[in-house]
Amino acid sequence: MLQIGDNTLVSLDLVERYFHCNLDDCLGECCIEGDAGAPLLPEEAERLQELLPEIIPYLSEKAAAVALRDGVSYVDCEGDLVTQLVDGANCIFTTFSEGGMCLCALEKARREGREDFFKPISCALYPVRLKEYESFTAVNYHRWKICKGAEVMGRAKGIRAYEFLREPLTRRFGKEWYDELDMTAREYLAQYGDTQD
């Protein structure tokens, strides 16, 4: 682990492993796999609920019905606030292209200028998962078989996971924090080299 700032511990995987999303390979499976919705901050859930009228046109008929009936979020069995699911699997904001690729309705609406809300930070940060402890935040790299193509593409492009996630990491922790991570990562890699398995 690398300590960045006063209260953040960053997994070495984030520095050592290569990563670059490859939607052509995984088809956005992270939006539909798993046992719960995407983690949300309370303010994100509140904002999404407010934006629902703007987002409804981008949702599937089933997702729109769930959102109108149950809201855009719920508390899962572990006590975490997450996005609502459709049919117990798909995130409520999942849409599909003609080729079957999963796309985020929130991202689509933002790109079309319909609303200014970025997708939840937990989605933007993936494959990073944050774990809050009393005195620090752990920034962990989540390994998942559906992201193998992203690791292959990252290696081919020479892009480390932390580099690929520059924008969302900066959004979450700030530019000064990211700059410290970048400097520390470069020093670490210069000393220990490419140790990725």
What is the amino acid identity at position 9?
A: L
Q: Dihedrals φ, ψ of 116, to 5°?
A: -105, 15
| Interatomic CA distance for residues 151 and 91, integer angstroms | 24
Q: Terminus-to-terminus CA distance in the chain, angstroms?
A: 17
What is the amino acid identity at position 189?
A: L
**pTM as predicted:** 0.81
| Interatomic CA distance for residues 192 and 57, integer angstroms | 50
pLDDT in tens, 62-113: 999 999 999 999 998 888 899 999 888 788 888 887 777 778 888 888 888 7
pLDDT in tens, 89-98: 788 888 887 7
